[in-house]
Amino acid sequence: MKNMTRKLIVLMCFLLSVVGIAQTYKTIDTADYLQRKDFLRNFTAGNEALIKGLKSQYSGRTGSEMSKIYKEFGTDFENQVRNKDFVFKSEFDAVIKSLVQRLRKNNPKVPQDLKILIARDNTPNAYCLADGTFVINMGLYNWMDNEAQVAGVISHELGHKIEDHTLKSVLNIVEQNKLDKSTVQSIKETTDRRSQGRNEKAFDILKNRIYKKSVEKRNLEIHADSLGYVIFKNSDFKKNEFINGLQKLQTFDTVSPRELKIETYKKLYDLPKQAFKDKWMKKEDFSLYNYNFYKEKLNKDSLASHPEMVKRLEKLKKTFPELNTPVEAEKPSEAYLMLKKTARMEILPNFFHSEDYGLGIYTAMQFLQDGEEEKYYKGWLGKCFTKIYEARKNYNLNRYLDRVEPKNQSESYQQFLNFMWNLSLDEIKNISEYYQSVETVAKTK
């Protein structure tokens, strides 16, 4: 089962409403073999050079361990590129490059060799790799109000890049590994193998290591905020758009997904050859389960690698008093609105690409409930239900559809999951065939 927190956070993006999207929308072209091949060649060469440099800069075991980490990361990233997790020939590229160019104004430390990649990811995020590859998630355009707010997120990541935060984090991991191994060896030598104390001491090492790593990451995020704002205000963007963008992300962190109405289920699944059944909506009863019976061994707040947005905003306003005066967000340009529309229409293709078929169905239902692009989203219902049918038939549905977790999911999402798990194999097949036929009819008109 895929990461639940990430999925539920992504659902929040659907609170936005964008109108005027063409009925004849065509998904972004991913026939970019030559561009991907060229990128991979350059990325591989750059990562190899980075690893070689690390071995010469850090001697002995430290250099070897750091080289191993970067080699594994490079392999994983190359696989993502081959899997078409990024798009190369998109209208996003030129716009992002122009924003980076504006951020270079009066900021000589901003690298000149940044390479832009657009990720097929619906979360509003961005990150920069050690070789200068800058990744922008398409979902950022579903959340930010205008170009300046996107530039604010980019400037934050540039702060990480300029200060080599990633490299410093990797170095800390390697050094901490050495200390942990030494401590573990000491426990082995001084504690009886069969004693409970031995296990407790070992777990304490793990817990402290995890907490320490989270604290370090939170500190780096706050540092990158300050560095990013300096870059941002030195360029030609309005200063307060930096904090306006962070406030949008604060909303992203706290707003729950909208309710999916029961009437929507009845409207979408009362089909000519299969009438809607009330039993599909039956919920699993968790009322007798005592969630306090088990005490959590790890504190969730201590595990968080990003500080709460409220604290980040407070720190920025304290450091830079000019940010304490609220300023209304600028109106987006027509070019930005076009990209925003494209990003919205790519939400379903992106979920389908990442094999989040259950989440794709839930999202399509949200859009259809709002009366958006019926033919388009009904077509995606058919595609996603077809994949759910194949998974159910092959006994691996858990890979593509979450189980109900009352403590971590909204009421609406729990109801949806109950509905999906209540459907029989034949019922899923009937829904799939109906909406696949809807898509076929739409294409022939």
| Residue pair 125/139 in contact by the 8 Å Cβ criterion | yes
Q: What is the DSSP letter of 134?
A: E
The position carrying tokens 């980019």 is 154
Q: What is the pLDDT of residue 293?
A: 44
Q: What is the mean pLDDT of residues 339-348?
A: 94
Residue 111, burial from CB neighbour count under 10 angstroms (0-12, 13-18, 19+) = middle
Give yes or no for residue 77 having a pLDDT over 80: yes
Q: Please state, as a whole number, how many other Cβ atoms lie within 10 Å of the Cβ of residue 210.
A: 14
Strand partners, 126: 136
Q: What is the pLDDT of residue 148?
A: 96
144 closest CA partner among 58, 48, 238, 245:
245
Q: pLDDT by residue (tens digit) across 7-62? A: 554 444 444 444 444 456 777 877 788 999 999 999 999 999 999 999 899 888 88
pTM (global) more than 0.85: no
Q: Could you tell me the residue ranges of all domains in the chain?
A: 90-254, 262-283+331-441
Q: pLDDT by residue (tens digit) across 210-267? A: 666 677 788 889 999 999 999 999 999 999 999 999 998 887 765 556 789 999 999 9
Q: pLDDT by residue (tens digit) across 394-417? A: 999 999 999 998 888 889 999 999
Give yes or no for residue 367 having a pLDDT over 50: yes
The position carrying tokens 């800390």 is 172
The position carrying tokens 């999202």 is 363
Amino acid at 363: T
Q: Please state, as a whole number, how many other Cβ atoms lie within 10 Å of the Cβ of residue 241.
A: 22
Q: pLDDT by residue (tens digit) across 288-322? A: 555 454 444 444 444 344 558 888 999 999 999 99
